[in-house]
Amino acid sequence: MIIVDTALKARHEAGNPVRVGLLGAGFMGRGVINQIVNYTPGMVLTAIANRTVDTAVEAYAKFGVENVKVVSTLGDMEDAIARGYSVVTDDPTLLCQSDSIDVLIEATGHVEYGARVTLAAIEHKKPMVLMNAELDGTVGPILKVYADRAGVIITGCDGDQPGVQLNLYRFVKSIGLNPLLCGNIKGLQDRYRNPTTQESFAKQWGQTAHMVTSFADGTKISFEQAIVANATGMKVAQRGMLGYHSKGHVDDMLDLYDVEQMKSLGGIVDYVVGPKPSPGVFVYATCNEPTQAHYLNYGKLGEGPLYSFYVPYHLTVFEVPLSAARVALLNDVIIAPLGAPVVDVITTAKIDLEVGQTLDGLGGYHTYGQCENADIVNQDNLLPMGLAEGCRLKRPVAKDHVLTYDDVEIPADSVAHRLRAEQNAYFAKAKVAAAV
């Protein structure tokens, strides 16, 4: 953070701010707009792409930006920016092509839209910060392959739990310890919540009922922990994760975990429900020898074998601009897949599903997502949760049963489905080549 704020200060004093393009002006997007416009010296929000342009114009105005121009071509966009306008468009590819933008932030949470715009960003060598865990957890590994080939950064963000966990994981490793668990702290977990049950809560916070449902039913946290797994090589201890409940503190839950099991899996990702500090994240780690153990005990972390490290909050939109700065100024990746998927999020029936139903996808009435190790997902041909929307049932599936590709007809002309098929083939081929 000290390096990032110093770098931003230098850009501010030089009159050369980092120029950001934002994709999506919904609940999270609006928070990012406010943060960049009013609280991030050395950075400007140059343009917003949103399917409804009036929403983006209103968002700019709400946070004090009135010199706004709506454009529909790249030439008009570049001309407007050169004349000092903040720009709004419904065409996200313009932001990807613009020479007046240094870094993009994707804040839609929509897999298909995110897949299309991220491919466009990579094509035009535009670095991208993803607030889209659903996209990252579904086709992030193959997008990383594309990005590496193009020499451009595609990364998750600070502020959301995966990025905060990776920052903490990197710290724990940097002091010579061995992380064995990356954990996410929840206040609620009920797999059968739906947009009707969550409607009033969503209205209270200005969110959509589907977004809130994906938080409550475990889908969102599954994507978050899959991202962490793919960035660390950690697995899950069981389908759906362990998900222990407690009313104490994460410091008091160390004895619930089997150290040898976690070591055998290369570490695990998990979540807990109820303990403090909520809504934070934590890492459990071991040390290597008695001198480290002695000084950890001196530092009030106990006698081991597991030691607890935690961050008591995650501040989402407050920290996302810092991610854009880390990418644009330092070429630093916050969180990205190491290679092949390690953990996936699979589609599970929330109700009894009937032949002919078209699945409503994330945060809906039909399904919820849960984590599973990628080797089992591939072996059993399980349907990724990020691709469930729009799939049509070919046969009935009972409540709480997982769905396979054999259960559904997939939508035609889906970029996300194409990328997923390519991801499966690419890493299967790489696995065979490595074994030879």
Given 101, 136, 155, which residue is the final one in a domain?
155
Confidence of residue 431 (pLDDT cuts 50, 70, 90): confident
Q: pLDDT tens digits for 173-226?
A: 999 999 999 999 998 888 999 888 888 887 887 788 887 888 889 999 999 999
Residue 374 lies in a domain: yes
DSSP H or E segment with residue 221: helix 219-232
Mean pLDDT of the 371-383 span? 98
**Do 151 and 241 belong to one domain?**
no
Residue 320 lies in a domain: no
Please give the tally of structural domains in the chain: 3
Q: pLDDT tens digits for 11-36?
A: 999 999 999 999 999 999 999 999 99
Confidence of residue 436 (pLDDT cuts 50, 70, 90): low
**Do 267 and 406 belong to one domain?**
no
Residue 74 lies in a domain: yes
Paired tokens of 236: 């899950």
Average pLDDT, the chain: 95
**Do 24 and 116 belong to one domain?**
yes
**Do 193 and 311 belong to one domain?**
yes
Q: pLDDT tens digits for 396-421?
A: 999 999 999 999 999 999 999 999 99
Residue 328 lies in a domain: no
Is the pLDDT at 1 greater than 60, yes or no?
A: no
Residue 206 lies in a domain: yes
Residue 11 lies in a domain: yes
Tell me the CATH number at 8.
3.40.50.720
**Do 223 and 104 belong to one domain?**
no
Is the pLDDT at 283 greater than 70, yes or no?
A: yes
Q: pLDDT tens digits for 149-182?
A: 999 999 999 999 999 999 999 999 999 999 999 9
C-alpha 316/C-alpha 30 separation (Å) is 12
Residue range of the domain that includes 193: 161-315
pLDDT at 207: 81
Residue 349 lies in a domain: yes
Helices (H), 236-354: 259-264, 290-298, 320-330
C-alpha 85/C-alpha 69 separation (Å) is 6
**Do 216 and 242 belong to one domain?**
yes
C-alpha 367/C-alpha 353 separation (Å) is 9
**Do 21 and 151 belong to one domain?**
yes
pLDDT at 199: 86
Q: Which of 133, 107, 106 is nearest to 118 (CA)?
A: 106
Paired tokens of 173: 């490793």
Lowest mean pLDDT among 41-50, 128-137, 197-206: 197-206
**Do 222 and 246 belong to one domain?**
yes
C-alpha 305/C-alpha 261 separation (Å) is 14
Query: pTM (2 decimals)?
Result: 0.95
More confident position, 395 or 429: 395
Given 155, 187, 210, which residue is the final one in a domain?
155
**Do 78 and 179 belong to one domain?**
no
C-alpha 56/C-alpha 161 separation (Å) is 26
Strands 68-70 and 154-155: unpaired
pLDDT over 70 for what percent of the chain? 100
Tell me the CATH number at 353.
3.90.1210.10
pLDDT over 90 for what percent of the chain? 90
Given 120, 135, 155, which residue is the final one in a domain?
155
Residue 335 lies in a domain: no
Mean pLDDT of the 279-298 span? 97
Return the sign of the alpha-carbon dihedral for residues 212, 216, 221, 222. Answer: negative
Is the pLDDT at 353 greater than 80, yes or no?
A: yes
**Do 230 and 286 belong to one domain?**
yes
**Do 39 and 135 belong to one domain?**
yes
**Do 285 and 200 belong to one domain?**
yes
